Amino acid sequence: RSFLESPPEGFAEAFSALNAAIYAGDDEALSDVSERFAAWTDGEWAPVAHYCRAVAAWQRIGRAERPAQLMLLNAAVGHLDEAIELRDDYADAHALKARIFPLYHRLDPQRAAVIGPLSGEHLALAEVHAPENPRVVAARGMSLFYQPAEHGGDKNRGLEKLRQALELFENTQPAVEEATVDPMSWGEAMVWSWYGGALLRLPEPDRDAARQAFEKAVALEPGFARARTQLAELSGDAADS
C-alpha cells in the first residue's frame, strides 16, 4: 500500500516532525519523534517505523559526546536489523546500513574489523532492490567519493553518482509502486548538502558550485541549519581572502 494513501493514523505527522528535526539539527526533537515511531514497530508499518528510528539515531551521532555516539550507532544498526528482518528487500534500510557501518572504524575498531566488509554487501543489495532510489544512488556516491582509491574510491565517479541521485529526486513522483514498503520520498536537500561538501573536498575545490548546492538545499528546506552554516562558512572564507 502507498504511504501517501493509507499510513497509520499519526504516522504522516510523525514523519513530518522527523523531517523537520533532521534539518533543524534538533537532537531533543529527534529523540522525541523516535519514541513516537515506537508505536508502529509491531504492526504492518514496523519496517518503516524501525527505519525512521534508525534515521533519528543516525542524525544525532555527530553532535553527541563520544560514549553516546557509539550507543546511538548501535541503536541505529539495531533498528535497521529489525527493519531488514521484517522486509529483506528494504533498499533504504540496506543503504543506510552501508552509510553508517564505516562509523565503527572510529567508534569501535574491534567491531569494525568484523562488520566492515558488510557495508559493501548492504549497498550492493540496496542497488539490486532499488537501483533508481535516489537515496541508494547517493549512498553509492558518498561511498565512492570518500573511500580511498586503493579500496575502490573514485571522487569523479562519486560526484557523478551524487548528481544522478539529484536528477532522480527531481524526476521522482511522491507516490511509488505498491510493492515498495517505504514509498517516502525524502532527503533531497540533504543530498544537495552532501554534494556541496564533496565539491569543497576536491583537490581543486569548486566553491561556486558548492555555494549553489548549499543554496539549493536551503531553498528546499529553509530550516536546514547545517546548509546555512555551510553557506556562512563559504561567505566568511570569501571575505577573508
**How many CA atoms are closer than 13 Å to the CA of 143, on its beta-carbon side?**
24
Helices (H), 38-181: 46-61, 66-86, 91-100, 104-107, 109-115, 118-129, 134-146, 155-171
User: For residues 195 and 138, is the Cβ–Cβ distance under 8 A?
Assistant: no
What's the pLDDT tens digit per position in 62-87?
999 999 999 999 999 999 999 999 99
| CB-count exposure of residue 33 (10 Å: 0-12, 13-18, 19+) | buried
pLDDT tens track, the chain, 241 positions: 344 457 788 998 999 999 999 999 999 999 999 999 999 999 889 999 999 999 999 999 999 999 999 999 999 999 999 999 999 999 999 999 999 999 999 999 988 877 777 899 999 999 999 999 999 999 999 999 999 898 889 999 999 999 999 999 988 755 444 333 344 568 999 999 999 999 999 999 999 999 999 999 999 999 999 999 999 999 876 545 4
Nearest to 50 by CA among 19, 95, 80, 85: 80
Which amino acid is present at 241? S
Nearest to 112 by CA among 140, 77, 136, 145: 77
Strand boundaries in 145-241, DSSP class E: none
Determine the Cα angle at 129 with ends 124 and 133, to 5°.
90
What's the pLDDT tens digit per position in 15-39?
999 999 999 999 999 999 999 999 9
Q: In terms of pTM, does the model score above 0.85?
A: yes
